[in-house]
Structure 1
Amino acid sequence: MKTYLRILSFARPYGEYIPQYLIFTTLSIIFGLVNFTMLIPLLEVLFNQVDQEVQQEIVSKPEFAFNIDYIVSLFNYHFSNIIEEFGKVGALIFICSIILTSVFLTNLFKYIAGLTLAKIRARVIKKLRTRIFDQVSRLHLGYFSNERKGDVMSRITNDVQEVESSVVSTLKVVFRDPATIIGFFAVLFFMSFKLTIFTLIVMPISGTIISEITKRLKRKATQSQESLGRIVNILDETLSGMRIVKAFNAREWIGEKFGEEVDRYAKINVSMARKQEAASPLSEFMGVSVVTGILLYGGILVLNDNSALAASEFLTYIILFSQILPPAKSISNALSSIQRGLASGERIFKTIDTLPQIEDKEDAVEIEGFHKDIQFDHVSFAYEDEHVLKEINLQIEKGKTVAIVGPSGGGKSTIADLIPRFYDPVGGKILIDGIALTDAKIDSVRKLMGIVTQESILFNDTIFNNIAFGKPEASEEEVINAAKIANAHEFILNTPQQYQTVIGERGTKLSGGQRQRLSIARAVLKNPPILILDEATSALDSESEKLVQEALTNLMKNRTSIVIAHRLSTIQHADEIVVVQKGEIIERGKHEQLVEMGGLYYKLTEMQTVS
């Protein structure tokens, strides 16, 4: 119930629709009741199926009273006048007109209520999907290392869709059908208190059976959505790595892995179907059983003259009670199907409730610009229990180029990730112009930085939009100028639509060097004072590397640059080279100094020279 109410809370800003929905639903119920409660009395009057005493009451105008009897008597009074004035055929036409009008109004108000509910549903789902996407985009990078990407995608797509189809879509059942049942029961109580109490004693038996089924459904629904998340994850990994799958002839292996998960998903869904499909027949059988019980119990009372109901009134009672069964069945079906949506809702809220580890403090300050230096003050960092950096002390002065080199896994990229505050250190602090990053607003820190990584992160959009990413207001002239600085303008002009060419998912229509130059153009356009290059040329061939290195040299002019380098030939002219091994700085200095020292840096240069 808590999850259900929380889902409904997303409709809160659109509360003006709720009263409309309730009003139109109430009107449709009222006119629906009119169809049944007035029909038999009308026919009794029309076909003279009432005794003389009642006939006398009908032709006499009733005295005002605030109850249903007065409304019925007043209607019968006017109806008897119609019979007298227009005859029975005229009265029959009048009956048919009332029935048609009542049915028309019932369905009209039901339609308007449904339309109102559709607006609520669309807005709830829009807000829910936007909320989870916003939350995912705010979460720290470590979250995505621990969570399967496919599972996160599944929550934003499949789980939200499940909430829409099985939770939000059942709002009409939650509001309308209980109100319908209450309305009919009110009339039934009015007709026979004793008989209605009997029905209320018998009905909870079916409710108990259905509730037990729904509990088991919820457990299976959670397993189903988790399995679907794994399927999406396998699909994402397979499609992203299709080149490797084919190169290693791993199609059969990945197919078996996918098939196992699909089989697991199918088995869970069959198990769910057994329970879900059982709910409807059971509820229908129990409902008919209750009607049969009423027919037997009430019939005996009427036949033995122990009931206040006449035969025609008992018939009316049975007809009215039968109208409770469809909404009761709808509620039963909704309760069984809603469990899947609630399981999805819990998965969604698990993500929404995840607290980002990297957030602005309440009194965080805005860093207006970069003027002096970046300092690492006894910085340590660990991924969970694995220590990656230990007591790092480093000063990067404005306008200087500092290269960080060392064996793989030594902590080079972690140092680069700490500067834009993708992570926070577990010990020590990092300062920009004397302000600790944890005391500054995250956006103001990242606004100072441009980042070019080994893997070019591009989007399935035009070349223009990829360069202007993060600066959508950029003019065509600015984008072209950035492309020229990045040595990208020439190859862009040779593409089919030039700057409006769509480059495919992750830029697959371009070569590695072309993708990297677009990444550099994007950083050029941002024009940041601090530049972070994380092995930006290590994955390129010699010709592409030359073009990209030239572009990087253009980009690094008059900027503070932190360069993570694998190919040491590209950083020999750095103002300072920092050698990192096993999370510690073991050497630092200029290229010539480090070579003369004959330490790890010298060994690395020798290895690359030999190779």
Structure 2
Amino acid sequence: MKTYFRLLSFAKPINKFAIPYVLFTLLSVVFNTLNLALLAPMLTTIFGGTAKHEALVKPDNWLDIFALFNYYAKMASNTYGAFQSLLFVCICIAISVLLGNFFRYLSDRTMESLRIHTLLNLRKSVFNNVMNLHLGYFSNERKGDIISKIASDVQVVQFSVTGTLQVIFKEPVTLIAYLVLLFIISYKLTLASMLVIPLAGLIIARIVKKLKHQAAASHQSYGVMISYLDEALHGIRIIKAFNAVNFITDRFNGENVRYSKIINSMAKRQQLASPVSETLGVMMVACIVLYGGSLVLSNQGGLDAASFIAYIALFSQVMRPAKAISTSFSNIHSGIAAGERVLQLIDEKPAITNAPGATDIKDFQTSLQFENVSFAYGEKNILRNISLTIPKGKSVALVGPSGGGKSTLMDLIPRFIQPQSGSLIIDGKNIQSYTMESLRSLMGIVNQESILFNDTIFNNIAFGKPGTSKEDVEAAARIANAHDFIINTENGYETNIGDKGSKLSGGQRQRICIARAVLNNPPIMLLDEATSALDTESEKMVQDALNNLMKNRTSLVIAHRLSTIQNADMIIVLDNGQIVEQGTHQELLSHGGLYKKLIDMQTFSSL
């Protein structure tokens, strides 16, 4: 129940919906119950054979609804005749049905507003928290499972939890109203029927006992299946190139079969609950007909034929709310299981947060320093006691063998990751004293992989900056050597580039990314293998764009190619997480160390 009430907290302010819902539901129950209460006087009017001008005595107990209705029906019959009395009762029933359905509609609309409001808040909370998580979280989790939690699981929570909320109030109130009327008609019959209800509840409870465990397994299996789908769509070129279509389809279909079996098993239990409750209900009605009929035939218990028929009609309606309650108990398990997965994602805390009292950094003034910085993934050391100073306006290249720690060192600067020891200093202050948002606003980042969105070229360049002018976007594109190819596309800057920029070449995608970085006009540039995946012609275009980008900026560049690094103001050689050499291109060549070895290997491989 703790999970249920926590999920319900996302419906706040719940009073906005709860008060009108309770009011409309109560009115709906009153008028719908009144329809059945009017059945007895209608039958009495038709079949009672009331004598004309029969002496009538008004009941003293106003709670005896049937006696009151019978009194007014007989009074109308004595005054206006049996047909006019029947017309009066039928009009009352029609008005009662109209009002009951009108208030039921208002009740359902209020609950739907509550459901949508809850879904909005829940999905917003989970997505906002995911966006604030550190990058390391996404390396350890299946992307498809995260998508499943945000899309599918939240939807399950919406319908099962808020739907159960509706049942928890409406159906018990309806059930109580029917039981009150049943007690008024015949307490003996009602007490006898109540003996079967605990038995029915026990049987249904045993049927739905394993549903929560199965629901949790189904949500997990669905998440795995979505992961397989995401990987298949993302890697479709490689799948076809390696003739792995059968392997991928077999893997997906295997999980699909497992998911279907779980869902089928759950459906068996859920669908069994309704027939069982209905069968028990019919058996109860049969017993009541037998017992109640004997009371009528023997003129015992103060029960006449019309009241007995009304009793049977009322009792048949009791099974509807009882059935809805039993169904909701079977559905709530799926909602709770899905809710626990969603709450797990909401409760996930980012490993890197702003320090208390962190301030915004407005500009980059002097230098960026690494002071004895070390970093490790688990027990694997990646960086060891790195000390380095990057003066403002200088370009620094990071080179070294793969796995030496270059990308890790760069990721420390925007605080994508956090050092285990040591500190990074900007303008004399630890970067942890600044807010991450203001720190990252000083930086332009271009990665080896061109991260673009299924949108127009304009929106990709102006990403995250609504209201950017066309002139500013064009100016950034010119610096990135992208303007000429952009205007030759189908719709110019308004051309949609497809999923992940699939309509553009590798060089074009990279230049769009550079234009995006230029638009921010950052004082610090972080370039991670920005040209390594390009052909020679595209590399030259992109390299020219990068040279334009790095003018008058502090730049940290990871690259292997000589053309990218030889003009750097300082080259840092990393090996096994340590700085083994540093200096200019010519200085490092003259030392004859690891740098010269790497350059010679590159020169040899290019021959």
Q: Against the structure 1 CA distance between its residues 188 and 416, is the aligned structure 2 distance closer, same or farther, given a 3 Å change threshold?
A: same
Segments of 5+ residues of structure 2 without an aligned counterpart are none
Equivalent residue, structure 2, for 1:56: 55
Give yes or no for the alignment of 1:262 onto 2:256. yes
> Which one of 452, 469, 475 corresponds to residue 475 of structure 1?
469
Give yes or no for the alignment of 1:430 onto 2:429. no
Equivalent residue, structure 2, for 1:68: 63
> Which one of 210, 213, 217 corresponds to residue 216 of structure 1?
210
2:274–2:326 contact (8 Å) kept in structure 1? yes
Give yes or no for the alignment of 1:107 onto 2:101. yes
> Which one of 56, 71, 82 corresponds to residue 76 of structure 2?
82
Equivalent residue, structure 1, for 2:351: 357
Paired residues, number: 605
Superposed CA deviations along residues 128-148 of structure 1, whole A, max 9, x for unmatched, are 112111111111111100100
Q: Against the structure 1 CA distance between its residues 85 and 8, is the aligned structure 2 distance closer, same or farther, given a 3 Å change threshold?
A: same
2:452–2:460 contact (8 Å) kept in structure 1? yes
Structure-2 separation of matches of 1:348 and 1:546: 47
Structure-2 separation of matches of 1:279 and 1:48: 41
Structure-2 separation of matches of 1:189 and 1:568: 93
Give yes or no for the alignment of 1:11 onto 2:6. no
2:45–2:77 contact (8 Å) kept in structure 1? no
- Matched residue of 1:233: which SS? helix
Structure-2 separation of matches of 1:303 and 1:347: 59
Give the letter for the 1:20 counterpart.
P
Superposed CA deviations along residues 408-447 of structure 1, whole A, max 9, x for unmatched, are 1111101111111111111122222222222221111111
Structure-2 separation of matches of 1:362 and 1:26: 50
Q: Against the structure 1 CA distance between its residues 392 and 215, is the aligned structure 2 distance closer, same or farther, given a 3 Å change threshold?
A: farther
Segments of 5+ residues of structure 1 without an aligned counterpart are none
Structure-1 separation of matches of 2:560 and 2:211: 54
Give 1:441-460 correspondences, 5 Å limit: 441-460=435-454
Equivalent residue, structure 1, for 2:546: 552
Equivalent residue, structure 2, for 1:40: 40
Structure-2 separation of matches of 1:301 and 1:600: 105
Give the letter for the 2:400 counterpart.
G
Q: Give me the CA root mean square deviation.
A: 2.1
Equivalent residue, structure 2, for 1:537: 531
2:134–2:417 contact (8 Å) kept in structure 1? yes
Equivalent residue, structure 2, for 1:285: 279
Equivalent residue, structure 1, for 2:482: 488
Give yes or no for the alignment of 1:466 onto 2:476. no
**More divergent stretch after superposition (358-367 vs 482-491):** 358-367
> Which one of 198, 207, 214 corresponds to residue 204 of structure 1?
198
Q: Against the structure 1 CA distance between its residues 529 and 103, is the aligned structure 2 distance closer, same or farther, given a 3 Å change threshold?
A: same
Shift of 1:373: 1.5
Give the letter for the 1:30 counterpart.
V
Equivalent residue, structure 2, for 1:320: 314
Structure-1 separation of matches of 2:484 and 2:412: 35
**More divergent stretch after superposition (236-245 vs 435-444):** 435-444
Q: Against the structure 1 CA distance between its residues 425 and 293, is the aligned structure 2 distance closer, same or farther, given a 3 Å change threshold?
A: farther
Equivalent residue, structure 2, for 1:400: 394
Give yes or no for the alignment of 1:409 onto 2:366. no
Q: Against the structure 1 CA distance between its residues 79 and 312, is the aligned structure 2 distance closer, same or farther, given a 3 Å change threshold?
A: closer
Give the letter for the 2:423 counterpart.
K
- Matched residue of 2:208: which SS? helix
Superposed CA deviations along residues 576-597 of structure 1, whole A, max 9, x for unmatched, are 1111111111111111111112
Shift of 1:308: 4.9
Give the letter for the 1:32 counterpart.
N
Structure-1 separation of matches of 2:50 and 2:339: 57
**More divergent stretch after superposition (540-549 vs 371-380):** 371-380
Give yes or no for the alignment of 1:157 onto 2:151. yes
Equivalent residue, structure 1, for 2:180: 186
Shift of 1:369: 1.5
Overall identity of the aligned pairs, in % = 52
TM-score by length of 2: 0.95
Give 1:217-256 correspondences, 5 Å limit: 217-256=211-250
Equivalent residue, structure 2, for 1:29: 29
Structure-2 separation of matches of 1:591 and 1:231: 51
Equivalent residue, structure 2, for 1:419: 413
Give the letter for the 1:8 counterpart.
L
Q: Against the structure 1 CA distance between its residues 298 and 90, is the aligned structure 2 distance closer, same or farther, given a 3 Å change threshold?
A: closer
- Matched residue of 2:209: which SS? helix
Q: Against the structure 1 CA distance between its residues 294 and 82, is the aligned structure 2 distance closer, same or farther, given a 3 Å change threshold?
A: closer
Superposed CA deviations along residues 190-210 of structure 1, whole A, max 9, x for unmatched, are 334444333333211221222
Q: Against the structure 1 CA distance between its residues 289 and 362, is the aligned structure 2 distance closer, same or farther, given a 3 Å change threshold?
A: farther
Give yes or no for the alignment of 1:121 onto 2:120. no
1:203–1:290 contact (8 Å) kept in structure 2? no
Give the letter for the 2:63 counterpart.
I
2:41–2:69 contact (8 Å) kept in structure 1? no
- Matched residue of 1:167: which SS? helix
Give 1:597-608 correspondences, 5 Å limit: 597-608=591-602
Superposed CA deviations along residues 243-275 of structure 1, whole A, max 9, x for unmatched, are 111111111111111111111111112211221
